[in-house]
Structure 1
Amino acid sequence: MTSTSLLSAETETRRALQLDALAGILPLERRDKLATILTDDDVATLRHLAKEGMGENSLRALASDLAYLEAWSFASTGSALPWPAPEALVLKFVAHHLWDPTQRESDPAHGMPAEVDAALRAGDHLRSEGPHAPSTVKRRLAHWATLHRWKGLESPLGTPAIRTSMRLAVRASAKPRRRKSKRAVTRDILDRLIATCQTDRLADTRDLAILLVAFASGGRRRSEVARLRLEQLTLEADVPLDPDDPNSPRLPCMAIALGRTKTAQADDDARVLLIGPPVAALREWIERAAIKTGAVFRAIDRWEAIDDRALTPQAINLILKRRCAMAGLEPIEFSAHGLRSGYLTEAARTGVTLPAAMRQSQHRSVQQAARYYNDADQALGKAARLAI
């Protein structure tokens, strides 16, 4: 081994050890890969952001985008990202990722150069074909700008040239928005999934609680379901089945203190309520699993021994897909995000007002939440039925 390669190996090992401080956020295999891509300054920045209290999901996404930006910089310029980034480099990034597929057919040099594409694919940084989704490019540019701010540097990301190039490039690339889950888990789908959880097996009890809690609490994100802790739950006074009839049958009620989420900080007082069957299912799981503190949803082995550690967000997603398969549905069409989109779609179908649904789902963006309402209106309205 040469002295240069030995030094490189030692550097990667040092960075991997420094990234161990983020072990609860970055999986081990991801940590080792990041150590080969990120610079020492990058690692120091990520550790600082974690120390300052950036949310786990936000930090994970930022680390992933920073790694991609570094890999792209090496592939396209032969060097690490410069700080601050020259405006020309940002324009090059936009041109490489948002381009016109029609123009590419007549001009192979249009868009990302073949050698840059090949280098990114060789490093497993690029898998999709064609121009990138505008939302992905905007997110990476936003993270690039965030890192400039954290470093106390002036960012070129907001200059008129960048804004104009983005607007024109998005229009030219014309790539349809791809949803995180092809199909929403609406109430009819949820009922089919629930029907697969009706034995007395511990896994059925747990999965029933996961499905009902994730859906009824406003379509919680899989990361929020995975890290739910007993300390976040509070039993409330029973409530009437019919809010307009105080004499209607009483239903159990439980509050979930959300704490830090993708759109809320830890010191926010946001909470949502569970009413009726989700409360019963959750209480049964907690009682059967003898959970006294800590993580609510945990792994179960083949002998029905329950782990002390929380399920991962990926495990929540796999549970949903497994239940879809058991219900005779195509797992590839669903993901855990389908519970979130399904909640809002079902709320729209049943006449729940958008502000009320957003209070439960904790969406901060009216535009994003309204998209599900608009989809439901289209499906239920007469405009698409004129040829019937």
Structure 2
Amino acid sequence: MSTPEPYLPGPSPALSQSDQDALTDLYVRGTPANTLRAYERDLLYVTAWKAARCGAALDWPESETTALAFILDHARNLNDATEKDVARETAEALIAQGLRRSLACPAPSTLDRRIASWLAFHRMKNLPSPFEAPQVKQARAKARRAAARPPAPKSQHPITRDILELLLATCRGSRRDCRDRALLMLGWASGGRRRSELTGLRREDVSLKEFDKTGLVWLSLLETKTTAKGETPRLVLKGRAAQALVHWIEVGEIQDGPLFRPVSKADRVLSRRLSPDAIAQIVRHRLKLAGLPDDFASPHGLRSGFLTQAALDGAPIQAAMRLSLHRSMAQAQKYYDDVDIAENPATDLLG
């Protein structure tokens, strides 16, 4: 993927061209692909917003007035604004371009992410950011508080073991079925893997050396959201999950390269990797085949379902976290709290 200019460090007169090129290469190699994609979306949005709002291109550095206007435009429900309101007119222009969904006030996390990207672009160019100005920082904090709402779950329902079994029952005997069975089992049993972690796995990351003797399969994730390259511990698969993965490797004839790949309508395994969106499509497809609404759960349901099931089965949270690789005990504890409160004897006091 090409890397647009605002992502890159600004030119420095103190650096030679070769050093400047090396610095640019360092930025590209040191920025995760998912972050680059988020940068691209956010840059497109803020560029279109300023063009519609001010009739001008982005400035480097941007003015505090523009930064403040950006916050104010995204800190209220524009359905209540008059048709001549400049913020509403700007939002309608963005909706027409497919960059904004509605006139409703965006989630605070969305505003925070776009501002963080905009701030990062300034930092990359070694420029002061308008979002660091006291008035702008205060407005941002007030906007966050005013729009505060309970965080929406990433998956409507957790995919607990009983739901997972329903999905697995839809996987018959085709190569696509073998792939989906292995993907769902690995995604759930290895600790609830994220979509990017599943699509990033390569055959070289899977060790089958102990499978024939112990039935264990070892996985090496390059990196995760909470661990850097080289710091991610090896994960283990055993039992049915290990057998399903080995079967997929054999059926798909996966010798090297991406572990999970598209399968054509003719049931032929392709050489490229699955995209993260394909994981979502697989989950929706299996839910539908299992007789559940296709929006019953998202791929994150594998992660939340693993931790929920661990809590239901009484597994220590520390043991579950060693597989899920949660960095925050508080984050993982939420899944245990939901189970604990349902089993709390104090909830039966009324009889």
| TM-score, shorter chain, exceeding 0.5 | yes
Percent identity of equivalent pairs? 39
TM-score, length basis structure 1: 0.78
The residue that corresponds to 2:20 in the other structure is none
- Contact 1:100 1:172 survives alignment (8 Å): no
TM-score of the two chains, using structure 2 as the length reference: 0.86
Q: Which amino acid aligns with 1:71?
A: A
Q: How far apart are residue 306 of structure 1 and its match?
A: 1.2
Kindly state the Cα deviation for residue 132 of structure 1 after the two structures are TM-superposed: 0.7
For residues 85 and 318 of structure 2, the distance between their equivalents in structure 1, rounded to whole angstroms, comes to 42
Could you say what the CA RMSD is over the residues aligned between the two structures, in angstroms?
2.9
Distance in structure 2 (CA, Å) of the matches to 1:202 and 1:48: 40
Q: 1:218, 1:372 → 2: CA distance?
A: 13
Cα 1:374–1:91 change in 2 (3 A) is farther
The one-letter code sitting in structure 2 at the alignment partner of 1:137 is: L
* 1:174-323 equivalences in 2 (<5 Å): 174-197=148-171, 199-235=172-208, 237=210, 252-323=215-286
Q: 2:144 aligns with which of 170, 186, 208?
A: 170
- Which of the residues 56, 64, 67 maps onto 1:79? 56
Q: 8 Å contact 1:186–1:343 — kept in the other structure?
A: yes
Aligned counterparts of 1:191 and 1:251: Cα–Cα separation in 2: 24
Shift of 1:238: 6.9
Which stretch of structure 1 is more off in the superposition, 275-284 or 199-208?
199-208
How many angstroms does 1:89 deviate by? 2.1
CA pair 162-49 structure 1, distance change in 2 beyond 3 A: farther
Aligned to 2:6: 42
> Relative to structure 1, is the Cα distance of residues 109 and 383 closer, same or farther in structure 2, using a 3 angstrom cutoff?
farther
Where does 1:366-385 land on structure 2 (aligned, <5 Å)? 366-381=329-344
Q: Distance in 1 between matches of 2:94 and 2:350?
A: 48
User: Equivalents in 2 of 1:119, 1:45: separation in Å?
Assistant: 31
What amino acid is aligned across from residue 326 of structure 1 in structure 2?
Answer: L
Q: Deviations over 1:109-156 (max 9, x none)?
A: 899722111110111100134111111111112222222221111223
Match of 2:15 in 1: none
CA distance in 2, matches of 1:274, 1:132: 40
Q: Any unmatched runs of 5+ in structure 1? A: 1-19, 23-39, 240-249
Offset at residue 281 of structure 1 (A): 0.4
CA distance in 2, matches of 1:110, 1:363: 48
Cα 1:163–1:367 change in 2 (3 A) is: farther
Q: Does 1:359 align with 2:322?
A: yes
CA–CA separation in structure 1 for the residues paired with 2:269 and 2:191: 27
Residues 297, 311 of structure 1: 8 Å contact kept: yes
Q: 2:288 aligns with which of 312, 321, 325?
A: 325
Equivalence for 1:113: 87
**Aligned length in residues:** 338
Q: CA deviation at 1:327?
A: 0.6
Residues in 1 aligned to 2:41 and 2:204: alpha-carbon distance in whole angstroms: 31
> How far did residue 236 of structure 1 move?
6.0
* Unaligned stretches of 5+ residues in structure 2: 11-23
The residue number in structure 2 matching 1:146 is: 120
Structure-2 separation of matches of 1:80 and 1:124: 19
Structure 1 or 2: more strand by fraction:
1
Residues 167, 354 of structure 1: alpha-carbon distance in 2 compared, 3 angstrom cutoff:
farther
Q: 1:79 to 1:229 in 2, by over 3 A?
A: same
* CA distance, structure 1, for counterparts of residue 305 and residue 223 of structure 2: 23
* Aligned equivalent of 1:136, options 110, 122, 126: 110
Whether the 8 Å contact between 2:204 and 2:256 is mirrored in structure 1 is yes
TM-superposed CA distance for 1:383, in Å, is 6.3
- Given the alignment of the two structures, is residue 122 of structure 1 paired with residue 96 of structure 2, yes or no? yes
